[in-house]
Copies of this chain bind each other. A is one copy, B any other.
Protein backbone atom coordinates (compact mmCIF):
# COMPACT_ATOMS: atom_id res chain seq x y z
CA UNK A 1 0.00 0.00 0.00
CA UNK A 2 1.20 3.49 -0.79
CA UNK A 3 2.23 5.42 2.30
CA UNK A 4 0.71 8.63 0.98
CA UNK A 5 -2.84 7.79 0.00
CA UNK A 6 -3.37 4.07 0.56
CA UNK A 7 -3.69 3.11 -3.10
CA UNK A 8 -2.28 -0.24 -4.21
CA UNK A 9 1.39 -0.10 -5.07
CA UNK A 10 2.49 -2.63 -7.68
CA UNK A 11 6.04 -2.29 -6.34
CA UNK A 12 5.15 -4.48 -3.38
CA UNK A 13 3.78 -7.51 -5.16
CA UNK A 14 5.07 -10.53 -3.26
CA UNK A 15 3.92 -12.92 -5.98
CA UNK A 16 6.18 -11.13 -8.46
CA UNK A 17 9.13 -11.34 -6.08
CA UNK A 18 8.63 -15.10 -5.59
CA UNK A 19 8.34 -15.75 -9.32
CA UNK A 20 11.40 -13.64 -10.06
CA UNK A 21 13.46 -15.51 -7.46
CA UNK A 22 12.56 -18.86 -8.98
CA UNK A 23 13.35 -17.42 -12.42
CA UNK A 24 16.83 -16.41 -11.26
CA UNK A 25 17.46 -19.81 -9.67
CA UNK A 26 16.50 -21.52 -12.94
CA UNK A 27 18.74 -19.13 -14.84
CA UNK A 28 21.72 -19.86 -12.59
CA UNK A 29 21.30 -23.60 -12.93
CA UNK A 30 21.24 -23.30 -16.70
CA UNK A 31 24.24 -20.95 -16.62
CA UNK A 32 26.25 -23.67 -14.86
CA UNK A 33 25.46 -25.98 -17.79
CA UNK A 34 26.61 -23.25 -20.18
CA UNK A 35 29.88 -23.05 -18.29
CA UNK A 36 30.43 -26.80 -18.62
CA UNK A 37 29.67 -26.57 -22.32
CA UNK A 38 32.09 -23.65 -22.77
CA UNK A 39 34.81 -25.60 -20.96
CA UNK A 40 34.21 -28.63 -23.17
CA UNK A 41 35.09 -26.34 -26.09
CA UNK A 42 38.29 -25.47 -24.23
CA UNK A 43 37.28 -21.82 -23.87
CA UNK A 44 37.22 -19.09 -21.26
CA UNK A 45 34.12 -16.89 -21.51
CA UNK A 46 33.86 -13.16 -20.86
CA UNK A 47 30.53 -11.39 -20.30
CA UNK A 48 30.86 -7.77 -21.45
CA UNK A 49 28.42 -5.29 -19.88
CA UNK A 50 27.96 -1.55 -20.52
CA UNK A 51 25.50 1.18 -21.45
CA UNK A 52 24.51 1.50 -25.11
CA UNK A 53 27.28 3.09 -27.14
CA UNK A 54 30.17 2.66 -24.69
CA UNK A 55 32.19 0.84 -27.32
CA UNK A 56 31.72 -2.87 -26.61
CA UNK A 57 31.68 -3.94 -30.27
CA UNK A 58 34.59 -1.64 -31.13
CA UNK A 59 36.62 -3.15 -28.26
CA UNK A 60 35.94 -6.62 -29.68
CA UNK A 61 36.83 -5.57 -33.23
CA UNK A 62 40.19 -4.19 -32.12
CA UNK A 63 40.83 -7.19 -29.85
CA UNK A 64 40.23 -9.61 -32.72
CA UNK A 65 42.54 -7.58 -34.98
CA UNK A 66 45.35 -7.86 -32.43
CA UNK A 67 44.72 -11.35 -31.04
CA UNK A 68 42.74 -13.20 -33.70
CA UNK A 69 45.71 -15.09 -35.18
CA UNK A 70 47.12 -16.06 -31.80
CA UNK A 71 43.93 -17.30 -30.09
CA UNK A 72 40.76 -18.94 -31.40
CA UNK A 73 38.09 -16.34 -30.64
CA UNK A 74 34.31 -16.68 -30.87
CA UNK A 75 31.66 -14.06 -30.18
CA UNK A 76 28.03 -14.18 -29.07
CA UNK A 77 26.34 -10.82 -29.70
CA UNK A 78 23.30 -9.78 -27.66
CA UNK A 79 20.92 -7.10 -28.87
CA UNK A 80 17.25 -6.33 -28.61
CA UNK A 81 16.97 -5.98 -32.38
CA UNK A 82 19.19 -6.04 -35.52
CA UNK A 83 22.14 -8.12 -36.73
CA UNK A 84 24.40 -5.07 -36.99
CA UNK A 85 26.93 -6.01 -34.34
CA UNK A 86 27.32 -9.57 -35.62
CA UNK A 87 27.95 -8.20 -39.11
CA UNK A 88 30.77 -6.02 -37.75
CA UNK A 89 32.37 -8.99 -35.96
CA UNK A 90 31.87 -11.36 -38.91
CA UNK A 91 33.84 -8.91 -41.07
CA UNK A 92 36.82 -9.58 -38.77
CA UNK A 93 36.75 -13.25 -39.75
CA UNK A 94 35.79 -15.01 -36.51
CA UNK A 95 32.76 -17.18 -35.71
CA UNK A 96 29.88 -15.10 -34.38
CA UNK A 97 26.24 -15.63 -33.42
CA UNK A 98 23.71 -12.80 -33.06
CA UNK A 99 21.12 -13.28 -30.33
CA UNK A 100 18.17 -10.89 -30.42
CA UNK A 101 16.06 -10.73 -27.29
CA UNK A 102 12.98 -9.33 -29.04
CA UNK A 103 12.43 -6.71 -26.36
CA UNK A 104 14.11 -8.14 -23.27
CA UNK A 105 16.67 -5.90 -21.59
CA UNK A 106 19.40 -8.50 -20.98
CA UNK A 107 20.74 -11.85 -22.09
CA UNK A 108 19.77 -14.84 -19.98
CA UNK A 109 21.37 -18.25 -19.68
CA UNK A 110 18.72 -19.94 -21.86
CA UNK A 111 19.37 -17.62 -24.78
CA UNK A 112 23.15 -17.91 -24.40
CA UNK A 113 22.75 -21.69 -24.29
CA UNK A 114 21.24 -21.52 -27.77
CA UNK A 115 24.02 -19.16 -28.82
CA UNK A 116 26.72 -21.64 -27.75
CA UNK A 117 25.08 -24.42 -29.75
CA UNK A 118 24.81 -22.19 -32.83
CA UNK A 119 28.42 -21.08 -32.46
CA UNK A 120 29.61 -24.67 -32.07
CA UNK A 121 28.17 -25.49 -35.50
CA UNK A 122 30.57 -22.91 -36.97
CA UNK A 123 33.69 -24.51 -35.42
CA UNK A 124 35.48 -27.12 -37.53
CA UNK A 125 37.22 -28.80 -34.58
CA UNK A 126 34.77 -27.78 -31.80
CA UNK A 127 37.54 -25.80 -30.09
CA UNK A 128 37.82 -22.19 -28.90
CA UNK A 129 40.20 -20.31 -26.62
CA UNK A 130 38.16 -17.19 -25.88
CA UNK A 131 34.41 -16.68 -26.02
CA UNK A 132 33.16 -13.10 -25.76
CA UNK A 133 29.51 -12.62 -24.85
CA UNK A 134 28.53 -9.02 -25.62
CA UNK A 135 25.44 -8.29 -23.54
CA UNK A 136 22.55 -5.96 -24.45
CA UNK A 137 23.53 -2.31 -23.97
CA UNK A 138 22.24 -1.73 -20.44
CA UNK A 139 24.19 -0.96 -17.28
CA UNK A 140 21.43 -2.26 -14.99
CA UNK A 141 19.60 -5.50 -15.79
CA UNK A 142 22.41 -7.65 -17.27
CA UNK A 143 24.19 -7.46 -13.89
CA UNK A 144 21.57 -9.77 -12.37
CA UNK A 145 21.91 -12.61 -14.88
CA UNK A 146 24.83 -15.05 -14.68
CA UNK A 147 25.36 -16.57 -18.12
CA UNK A 148 28.06 -19.14 -17.29
CA UNK A 149 30.96 -16.76 -17.91
CA UNK A 150 34.35 -17.06 -16.21
CA UNK A 151 34.99 -13.33 -16.10
CA UNK A 152 32.70 -10.32 -16.23
CA UNK A 153 33.87 -6.96 -17.60
CA UNK A 154 31.91 -3.77 -16.90
CA UNK A 155 32.79 -0.83 -19.12
CA UNK A 156 32.00 2.88 -19.02
CA UNK A 157 33.13 5.39 -21.61
CA UNK A 158 34.57 8.81 -20.81
CA UNK A 159 31.60 10.76 -22.29
CA UNK A 160 29.21 9.02 -19.84
CA UNK A 161 30.77 10.72 -16.83
CA UNK A 162 32.56 9.45 -13.71
CA UNK A 163 29.48 9.01 -11.49
CA UNK A 164 28.36 5.74 -13.07
CA UNK A 165 29.88 3.29 -10.52
CA UNK A 166 28.08 5.05 -7.63
CA UNK A 167 24.80 5.28 -9.55
CA UNK A 168 24.81 1.75 -11.02
CA UNK A 169 26.52 -0.28 -8.28
CA UNK A 170 25.37 -3.81 -9.02
CA UNK A 171 27.26 -4.10 -12.31
CA UNK A 172 30.47 -3.15 -10.51
CA UNK A 173 29.89 -5.39 -7.49
CA UNK A 174 29.45 -8.42 -9.75
CA UNK A 175 32.35 -7.82 -12.17
CA UNK A 176 36.00 -8.85 -12.33
CA UNK A 177 37.26 -6.01 -14.53
CA UNK A 178 36.31 -2.31 -14.65
CA UNK A 179 37.24 -0.97 -18.08
CA UNK A 180 37.21 2.76 -18.93
CA UNK A 181 36.86 3.25 -22.70
CA UNK A 182 37.32 6.16 -25.14
CA UNK A 183 40.22 7.55 -23.04
CA UNK A 184 41.40 9.62 -26.03
CA UNK A 185 38.44 11.89 -25.11
CA UNK A 186 39.75 12.65 -21.60
CA UNK A 187 41.08 16.11 -22.62
CA UNK A 188 37.57 17.15 -23.76
CA UNK A 189 35.42 15.90 -20.87
CA UNK A 190 35.20 16.53 -17.15
CA UNK A 191 36.06 12.94 -16.26
CA UNK A 192 38.25 12.61 -13.17
CA UNK A 193 39.20 8.93 -13.60
CA UNK A 194 40.36 8.70 -9.99
CA UNK A 195 36.80 9.48 -8.79
CA UNK A 196 35.26 6.74 -10.94
CA UNK A 197 37.95 4.23 -9.90
CA UNK A 198 37.67 5.11 -6.21
CA UNK A 199 33.88 4.67 -6.26
CA UNK A 200 34.20 1.36 -8.13
CA UNK A 201 36.83 -0.03 -5.73
CA UNK A 202 34.72 0.97 -2.73
CA UNK A 203 31.99 -1.25 -4.14
CA UNK A 204 34.35 -4.07 -5.11
CA UNK A 205 38.01 -3.92 -3.99
CA UNK A 206 38.91 -6.95 -6.14
CA UNK A 207 38.14 -5.19 -9.46
CA UNK A 208 41.00 -5.09 -11.96
CA UNK A 209 40.97 -1.55 -13.41
CA UNK A 210 41.94 -1.04 -17.06
CA UNK A 211 41.45 1.65 -19.67
CA UNK A 212 41.53 1.66 -23.46
CA UNK A 213 41.24 3.92 -26.44
CA UNK A 214 40.29 2.14 -29.64
CA UNK A 215 41.34 5.27 -31.53
CA UNK A 216 44.93 5.55 -30.26
CA UNK A 217 45.45 1.95 -29.10
CA UNK A 218 46.38 3.12 -25.59
CA UNK A 219 45.79 0.50 -22.92
CA UNK A 220 45.43 -2.44 -25.30
CA UNK A 221 48.71 -4.08 -24.23
CA UNK A 222 47.38 -4.54 -20.67
CA UNK A 223 43.99 -5.73 -21.90
CA UNK A 224 45.55 -8.28 -24.27
CA UNK A 225 47.96 -9.46 -21.54
CA UNK A 226 44.97 -10.04 -19.26
CA UNK A 227 43.16 -12.03 -21.98
CA UNK A 228 46.29 -14.13 -22.67
CA UNK A 229 46.64 -14.87 -18.96
CA UNK A 230 43.09 -16.26 -18.89
CA UNK A 231 43.86 -18.69 -21.73
CA UNK A 232 47.07 -20.16 -20.31
State the A residues within 8 Å of B (CB): 2-5, 7-11, 13, 15-16, 19-20, 23, 26-27, 30, 33, 51-53, 79-82, 84, 103-105, 108-111, 113-114, 117, 136-141, 156-157, 159-161, 163-164, 166-170, 182, 185, 188
> With A167-B82, A168-B52 in contact, do A108 and B10 touch (Cβ < 8 Å)?
yes
A110 CB contacts on chain B under 8 angstroms: 2, 9-11
Inter-subunit contact B26/A114 (CB<8 Å): no
CA distance A114 to B103 in the complex (A): 28
Please measure, in the bound complex, the distance between the C-alpha atom of A42 and the C-alpha atom of B188, giving whole angstroms. 41
Chain B residue numbers with a CB within 8 Å of A108 are: 10-11
Instruction: Provide the bound-state CA to CA distance between A228 and B173, in Å.
Output: 43
CB of A81 within 8 A of CB of B169, answer: yes
Besides A16-B23, A51-B53, A159-B159, 11 other A-B contacts (C-beta < 8 A): A4-B117, A7-B30, A10-B27, A19-B19, A52-B139, A52-B160, A53-B161, A79-B167, A81-B168, A84-B163, A103-B170
